[in-house]
Structure formats: C-alpha cells, structure tokens
Structure 1
Amino acid sequence: MEVIVVSDATEIGGIAADAISALLERKPDAVLGLATGSSPVAVYDELARRCDAGRVSFRQARGFILDEYVGLPAEHPQRYRNVIDAAFVNRVDFGPGAVDGPDGTAADLPAACAAYEDAIRAAGGVNLQILGIGTDGHIAFNEPGSSLASRTRIKTLTRQTRTDNARFFGDDLDAVPTHCLTQGLATILDARHVILLATGRHKAEAVHHLVEGAVSAMWPATILQHHPHVTVLLDDAAARRLQLVDYYRETYRAKPDWQGI
C-alpha cells in the first residue's frame, strides 16, 4: 500500500488523473471502476478537462459503477447511474453502453447482482478501481461487519451512512434509501490497481484504521492491506492521525519519476 499525502483535493485529482491517463495510453480498452460521492469529483473534473483538450480518450474504455441504491426510480437524480453520468460519463467520450452498474430497480435483485458480477468478468476484470472511504471505514457500500469474502449483493445501510448521505437528499434522512446493491470486498480486491481518495478531518479515523490498523470486518477498507497494488491519496486533514505520516511524505518525495503510482 502506497500512501501519498498532498495539500488538497485538486492535487489529489491531478495525481489520480495522471494514473488513469497513463493506463489508457498503454491500454485504450481498459476497464475502470467508478465511484460516486464527493471524493472522486476532482479526478473526474480533471479527466473531463483533459478529454476536452484531446489529451485522453475513453472511446474504447469500459466502466463499472461500484454500487447503487435500491428502489429509487430510474429518473431520480440521486440514482447512482444518473450521478455518475452527470459527474463524469457524459462529460467524456465513452461509447454508448460502455458504462454498466448494478440494477437497483430489478425485480430479482440477487439475479441482478449475479449478472453484474458476470458482466465484470466478461469484460476482463477491472484494471483500475477508484474508491472513496466512509467515516466508518466502508468502501463501496460494504458496511462494518461485511464479509471480507463478499461479492456483489444487497446490503442494508447503516444509520451513519444514511446520515452522511442525507446532504444529497435535501438533508432529509427519511428520503435516503435503506438498501443498496454493492460490489463486495472480494469483488473490489479483484481489481488490478485500487486508488482510494480521502480528504477532510472527518475521514482521519477511517484512514488511520485503513493504513495502520488491523485487518477487520469492523473497518471494511482494511481488507485493502491484502491487495498488491493500492494507492491511498490523502490531504493533510485526512492524514492527521497517521503515526508514520512523515515517513509516507519522505517516501513519496524520494520516489523515482518513472515509477508512477
């Protein structure tokens, strides 16, 4: 696990966009794992700018969304398919149907989850997965207590997660769905490279457990300690609880330019 601490979200966005651009340059048909929420916004903004400038193209690429609310109508603005389209997909040059997501409107939710897993496998697996992290350490919607071997499935959201997400629903907690479909922790671990983004003091406790804590289902993101290629991009506030933060800074300063992330 590589930990990179920089000044702000804009710098984080640039580093992650560099990695994605480099991947697409050497593998134009790469498969990207796309997260929603506030953490990846700077990445998507930077990639959209580069696409407009002709510096990167997604024409041959595929994308898979991490998770989806259950029960929101297809036209709801907070349905994650609509969120990712507005935040990223419609701003770059993905081909028609190139981005897929779990179907939270399906009549048979277990079958929808199995079909989604099959679609990822059929695409050759995810080359680079973008992740955020919840204040309770969840990644995707794998809440505390999630099986470390879990695959895409239906989950009940914790009250903490629903409270954190209420800002997207007019601060109305009752409007936030109680269930979701989410890639499982084992599904996420199948990605060849994981880039996790975190900013702000409210993420510091979760980041501390992710990077320096024990692997535990109570802090689901800690399973990433078992992944061979994880990059954690943090601002100063999110890194404030890390005991080895000076070492992480020194390591990044000394890193050869050719190595990338």
Structure 2
Amino acid sequence: MINTSFEQRTERRNRLIGLLRSEDHWKTAELREQLGVSQRTLMRELAELRRAGYPIDSDRGRGGGIRLNGRWGVDRLNLSHQEVVELVLSLAIMESLQSPLLTSNLKAIKQKLFQAFPQQQRSAVSNIRKRIMIGDNANANVVSLYTKPAQQISENLAESFLQRNYLEIEYQSESGEQTLRVIEAQYTLLNWPIWYVMAWDHLRMSSRVFRIDRIKRARLVDGNFQLRPKHVFTDIYTPFHQTI
C-alpha cells in the first residue's frame, strides 16, 4: 500500500511538471482538474517542487496563475537531445562508482534532467541505462597498458551504441593481430577506467568483448541492429550485475 501510494505521488508530480512545461501559465483550477486533486494537495505539490529547485512562480489576481519560470527544462540549457542523454548517463555512471567526494547532489541533478524529458524519451534513456554495466576497477597491470582512444573512435562508438548503428572496427588483439570486423554494440562495461564493448561480432558470428583502447579505427556503416536476447551474452556479463 505504501509503495502504491508513493508511485501514485511520483506519477502525479511528473504529470504536474509536464503540465507546467506545456503552457506559459495555468490557473490553479485548471491544474486541479487535470490532476484530479484538491487545492490543498496542489499547493503541497507545488511547494515540494519549489523545495526541489523548480523555479515556479505564482501570479495573484485575475489573469494570473502558476507558471514554470522560463519554460524550465532541457531546452533552456541549449543542448542537443544526444548531449543531454549523454549527460544524464554520465551522471548515472558517476553515481554508480560511489565516489565519496563531490557527488552528494548527483542523484538530484540527474533526476531533474531526467524529468525534463517527455515520457517516451525517459523510457528510451532507461532502456539505454540497462545496457551499461559497472564492474570492478581494472587491475594495475591493465591500467598501465591503457591508452586513450582517439576522439573520433569514441564518438562513433558512442553513436553506434546509442542509436544502434552497425559499426565497422579495426581491432588489435593482445597478441598484436589486427582484424576488420562489423559489430553490434549491444552492451558496454566499465572496469574503471577501462571501457569494454560487449558486442555481436559478424566476423565470428558470436558474442565478443572488445577493449575500447584496442579499437584502432571505427566507422559507422548503414543499417540498425536489434537488441539480441540477453542469454546470448550470459557468459560475458554474468559477473557484472550492476547496471546504472
């Protein structure tokens, strides 16, 4: 019963934020009707949003109403959709790493950005988060051999992962052998500070793990892949249960 009540309040608050963002101003009677709540409940919800940092203004008198100052949301940040998605995911990753310093407000910041998305986009971001896994920190030997990937490789890999584009890579194995492959970047894994891609490899026609700093070239190719069943990657990601 308690969980249901909490979920209902959360859904109502998200609806209220969406309504405030959708119009320049609302009369309290209109908001009450849309939400199906009393005046007291509406005022309490607005007060909670103000305490959470939302810039909500109230105008008294005829023609006045409630408004979210400046149509608050992602659009005010002047960021592209993908930039905001990457920002939300980066905050979630940092939160998962559980750093003891300078992270006390990460959860609140992430939630505010997340709530600025329409429901459909929130669902899309949630699905992406399920594909990003956090493991243990890399051991010292692996870190000592790590080299930062080229910016273009990182950007193409990120786009392939987020947009589910096929990616052609030139990969260098631990022995130094280089092969050309087309992959589907199904999951990513962070063993701080080393990133890995858990992918379907069209060269081997099976699942493979690729260390990102061993990718020497990456090029987006035509076509989009579908997410494969999780059991295809069970042997790879079973040790890494934590997602962001």
Q: Which has the larger radius of gyration?
A: 2
In proportion to residue count, which structure has more strand?
2
Structure with the largest fraction of helix? 2
- Structure number with the bigger relative contact order (C-alpha 8 A, sep ≥ 6) is 1
